[in-house]
Chains A and B, each alone.
Chain A
Amino acid sequence: MLAAVGSRAVGLVEGFGDVGYFLADTVRALPDVRTWGTRTLQQMRRLGVDSLPIALFIAAFTGITLALLANNVFTATVPVYLVGTLVGKTIMMELGPVLTGLALAGRVGANIAAELGTMKVTEQVDALETLAYNPYSYLVIPRVLAGFVMFPVVVVFAMAMGVFTGWVAATTLLPITNAQFVRGLQLFFLPFDVQYGLIKSASFGLVITFIGCFLGMGTRGGAEGVGAATTRTVVYSAEMILVLDAFWAVVLLRHP
């Protein structure tokens, strides 16, 4: 029993050590701008633009549901224009970033882990090294930077889509006028709402791509190893999104 606990503790410490080494190698590769510069633009297109359809799809239905849910919850004592408030605040501050992040953990994180894992087990990463490329500047930095920059961009579009479908649902399916919805939307709106959502999104992008790269580059074995790395990436990314969500709430929403 004690031995098992000890073994797990050692494994955990080793795991943190590996992450530390990986991070240090990534930072050391940063001066190699010649390699990661152009590849980052390619990855921004892949990670960002290609992720838009799924992000917009999720946001569209979230907006509709939120509007109907708000109307259902608010009773006669609550003014109906607050439907607009709830849709706006919730989409911008919480559901836009978090649901998009969770979807992209599956789409982007799994894709990175599978791609790099396959490259690792088929010796493509070794081949890069023999051609004098640093795999961190060629493979890791472009993906992590692209995630950090493009996740907030994708989330901005998701926010706009969520608010738009919420407005359409409210004004067509509910007894709410356009003026009432817009009034509610504007009433408690602060630029901070958007900033808060974007800060969270950037952190999700950074963490999802980093986990995908770390587990992908650490893949051992064949197809089974690639599958395991992919699954772990999705699970760890989803967990980290929820942890970061709570972290940013504690740091940025705890008003004095």
Chain B
Amino acid sequence: MIAFSELHKAFEANRVLEGFTLEVRDGETMVIIGYSGTGKSVALKHVVGLLEPDAGHVEVDGQIVSELRRPQLTALRATIGYVFQFAALFDSLTVFENVALGLRRLQDLDEDEIAQRVREALRLVDLPRAEPHMPSELSGGMRKRVGLARAIALRPKYILYDEPTTGLDPVTSAVIDQLMVRTREALGVTSIVITHDMRSAYTVGDRIAMLYQGRVQQVGTVEEIKATEDPVVRQFIEGRPDGRAVVRASIGDAGRAAALEGGET
């Protein structure tokens, strides 16, 4: 189980998370939606200890992430696959080496076993012949699939997806959604998916949480969210420019952030 408890995080004067609290149950796919710059990725990075909270904590399997020493953190990271927004593939390594990198570090496997696990992961994301290619030779959608293969090659207990369909065409987005569903069925993983794409959220999510002004505005099943009467959540899921939500378009720091207030619906 992953639990965010009263998480606070600020970057200089820009307060991003202000008491973010959310529980992700074992085996479920939790989708976190919210406006750009509201701290969804920031929350996700706390789960693997890439960021330290100013206050509050994230708990994974009963361990408070920010209190772990490096060996314990390494052991925890071995159970979590992280799919980055722009894949974050290593430019200087082939697809094979990208997928194999975590296996070499985290698991005691010989070269044959590593090769087998890499092929298995690439097959699962429908890229069986991509092994010898460099990341620069791949399309955006293929890069994201390799990023997913790198995460699932570790056979993790949890997978964190940071905007997996952003920047992709609708068909490729649907393919990525299918892969996330297939991965969950094949590996039985618990997932957190950050997205703005409501079609994707409805396809892959068991529950959906909306992050708004540093806190969870509403959390519920897909059906509950679709039927919500919360004006802020309604405005977001319908994608209407006018509404009650105060949209902070983050442009680097709070001092320059534009506050655009919508009218009453």
Contacts and interface: CB of A to CB of B under 8 A. Distances in A.
Contacts of B106: 131-132
A130 B80 contact: yes
Contact of A122 (B81, B86, B150): B86
Contacts of B90: 119, 124, 127
A131 B77 contact: yes
Interface in A21-76: 35
A129 interface: yes
Given A124-B90, A126-B45, A132 B84 contact: no
A134 B70 contact: yes
A196 interface: no
Contacts of B101: 131, 133
B74 interface: yes
A123 interface: yes
Given A129-B50, A133-B105, A123 B84 contact: yes
B86 A131 contact: no
A242 to B, nearest CB: 33
A127 B93 CA distance: 13
Interface in A180-217: none
B72 to A, nearest CB: 11
Contacts of A131: 77, 101-102, 105-106, 150
Contacts of B250: none
Interface in A124-143: 124, 126-127, 129-134
A134 B78 CA distance: 13
Contact of A124 (B49, B77, B80, B88): B88
Nearest to A34: B105
Given A124-B90, A124-B91, A134-B70, A129 B85 contact: no
Contact of B77 (A35, A123, A132): A132
Contacts of B102: 131-132
B247 interface: no
B204 interface: no
A27 to B, nearest CB: 14
Interface of A: 35, 118-119, 122-124, 126-127, 129-134
9 contacts: A35-B105, A119-B90, A124-B89, A124-B91, A126-B45, A129-B50, A130-B50, A131-B150, A132-B106
Given A130-B77, A131-B101, A131-B105, 10 more contacts: A35-B105, A119-B91, A122-B86, A123-B86, A124-B89, A126-B88, A127-B89, A127-B90, A130-B48, A131-B77
Interface of B: 45, 48-50, 70, 74, 77-78, 80-82, 84-86, 88-91, 101-102, 105-106, 150
